[in-house]
Amino acid sequence: MYDVAIIGAGPAGGSAAIFTAKAGKKTVILDSDQGVTKRAMLYNHYGVKEITGPELVKTGIEQAKNYGAELIEAKVTGISKTDKGFKLQYENGEVEAKHIILATGFLTDLAESVGLATKPGTEPRVKTIFDVDNEGRTNVEGIWAAGTCAGVSVHTIITAGDGAKVAINVISELNSERYVDHDVLK
């Protein structure tokens, strides 16, 4: 069983995976390669002069894998509650996790099957988002949402930051104390 399953490997999901895996949480990312970032050219991402969306996503996934995250390239087709967390079904299998972070961008199609509350989106072309609190929690305990699907701006720097924020909150809940991750120069 994984500590955290992240659905979506764009900036929000990738960033969340970096933090959860680096914190030693057994992390799996499930991605169906439908992210809009893969069509982007970025000139406004802090700390990077310019980068293509595919390069940004690839780098984020590599960073998460370096800390031990696993990547399953598949579309999640269902989520069900178990005694210890959740079962996520995908095309050729299933995984179990204590917590789920939804980082599905424009896609909220899993909401109805698991009973997640949604509301109208606020960004252009984003029709529906998951209804989350300030921490990223949905109305289903153990399911969180980050990035565009949680109502933040579609800009990659913002969705990545939101993914990190939600991951810190998930880690804090798993640890039963506030988690902080600060690297220092050696």
What pLDDT does residue 45 have? 84
Give me the domain span that covers residue 159.
Answer: 2-175
pLDDT digits (tens, 9 = 90+) for 139-158: 999 999 999 999 999 999 99
Asked if residue 139 belongs to a domain, the reply is yes
Asked if residue 161 belongs to a domain, the reply is yes
What pLDDT does residue 111 have? 81
The structure tokens listed for 7 are 């659905």
Instruction: Please state the pTM of the whole predicted model.
Output: 0.95
- The domain tally of the chain equals 1
What pLDDT does residue 35 have? 84
Asked if residue 33 belongs to a domain, the reply is yes
Asked if residue 180 belongs to a domain, the reply is no
Asked if residue 185 belongs to a domain, the reply is no
CB 54 within 8 A of CB 76: no
What pLDDT does residue 38 have? 83
H helices of the chain, where?
11-22, 53-66, 111-114, 156-175
Asked if residue 184 belongs to a domain, the reply is no
What pLDDT does residue 110 have? 85
Residues comprising the chain, all counted: 186
CATH of the domain at 124: 3.50.50.60
CA-based Rg of the chain, rounded to a whole angstrom?
Answer: 15
Asked if residue 106 belongs to a domain, the reply is yes
Strand 27-31 versus strand 2-7 pairing type: parallel
pLDDT tens, position by position, for the chain (186 residues)? 999 999 999 999 999 999 999 999 999 999 998 888 888 898 988 898 999 999 999 999 999 999 999 999 999 999 999 999 999 999 999 999 999 999 999 888 888 788 999 999 988 889 999 999 999 999 999 999 999 999 999 999 999 999 999 999 999 999 999 999 989 998
What pLDDT does residue 122 have? 86
Which of 163, 178, 185 is closest to 21 using CA atoms? 163
Asked if residue 181 belongs to a domain, the reply is no
Bridge partners (DSSP) listed for residue 99: 4
What pLDDT does residue 104 have? 94
